[in-house]
Amino acid sequence: MDRLDNTVRPYAWGSPTAIPHLLGVEPTGEPQAEMWMGAHPGAPSRTGRGTLVDVIDADPRRELGERTVARFGPRLPFLLKLLAAGAPLSLQVHPDLTQAKEGYEDEERRGIPFDAPHRTYKDANHKPELICALTEFDGLCGFRTPAHAADLLDGLGVDSLKPYVDLLHAQPEEAALREVLTAILTADPDETTHTVTAAASACDRLGGAYTPYAGIAHHYPGDPGVIAAMLLNHVRLQPGEALFLGAGIPHAYLNGLGVEIMANSDNVLRCGLTPKHVDVPELLRIVRFEPGDPAVLRPEAAPDGEEVYDTPTDEFRLSRYVLATGGPAHDLTLPTPQILLCTAGSVRAGEHALTPGTSVFVPAGNRAEVSGAGTVFRATVVA
């Protein structure tokens, strides 16, 4: 197996302290948002044999295994991350596989450059993702019922929100949510700024259920995404709990440290809380306007001490082992590629000693045994 040297991305929303604290190093004072582990061309992990992209390209079948290559092609299908949010990320959704292929082919036909600010589809792949909390983790996930969203907006006492409240009381529910989100994103910018400012002031004053939205408005003053965010469920994960974000589910991460895994894609459609391009017609094609409570995942026990986060996607499978001093070694050998990430304690993976934030790549079929006292996350594929 190969020890990984990973890149930390300094996005502005990143926490300056969470990842350094996990790694046991001094903060630099700059935001450290995501540490990438995998073979994404934007920041591939480095090994003693070259970047993980180079290693896989040299012999995909040996590194990934026949089953993975047959199913997903000669590339690692997932990207594993440590994600540390110190401020809200953009409100966003991801397309399903058919929508991604259609959108990518359409933008290619129209000759939209990859670096154009209005380019939406960077590839033809979907981007399901899973976030597992290492600390308390706040986020937004999926639509509230329109009745609950109407009560939340109405409770602010802002007159310019009354039309949205009335629309949310219309039926059917999915049509009401679609109409309100459309109205929020296409409203006059000056009027929206005044509405968001008044709503933010009310959120500050009222507190309670409004507290997350007051924080969002502080980071994105005047952004229509502040009102759009109030249509969504607020969820607070405890360490070890997770959320799966499938296609079309609007979401945003607000604060906390977690392990994130996703299909290897860059396709994001933004709904707000961002200075970047918002493609409203395409967004409305992708969003699933289905209200409901966010489904918080807890790991399910599997043989040999493995705890699995069950999801409906095959590009990745995330699980963890919580190891105790004096406990048995666990044989993790699989016919698929793996990345093992230590998040607590001291773990031995083969010949490598892993401390929090360190990781290894295990080629398909290679022996992988872990022992020690700590927590190790295992990322692989279903093939």
Strand partners, 143: 232, 291
DSSP string, 268-320: -EEEESSSS---HHHHHHH----B----EE-PEE-GGG-EEE--S-SS-EEEE
3 state DSSP class of 7: strand
Where helices occur in the chain by DSSP H, the ranges are 18-23, 52-58, 60-64, 66-72, 97-109, 146-154, 162-168, 173-186, 189-206, 211-219, 225-229, 280-286
Angle between helices 189-206 and 211-219 (to 10 degrees): 140
Catalytic residue among 3, 46, 75, 270: 270
Residue 149 buriedness (CB in 10 A; 0-12 / 13-18 / 19+) = buried
The candidate with the shortest Cα–Cα distance to 315, out of 95, 47, 75, is 75
Annotation marks residue 144 as catalytic: no
DSSP label at residue 326: T
The candidate with the shortest Cα–Cα distance to 80, out of 50, 55, 43, is 43
Angle between helices 146-154 and 173-186 (to 10 degrees): 40
DSSP label at residue 5: B
Residue 178 vs residues 129, 161, 181, 187, 373: alpha-carbon distances, Å: 24, 16, 5, 14, 49
Convert 105-137 to b/e letters by CB count within 10 Å (16 or more is b). Answer: eebeeeeeeeeeeeebbbebbbbbbbbbbbbeb
The candidate with the shortest Cα–Cα distance to 278, out of 215, 219, 228, is 228
Residues 6+ apart with CB under 8 A from 121: 95, 100, 103, 104, 106, 107, 267
Q: What residues are labeled active site?
A: 270
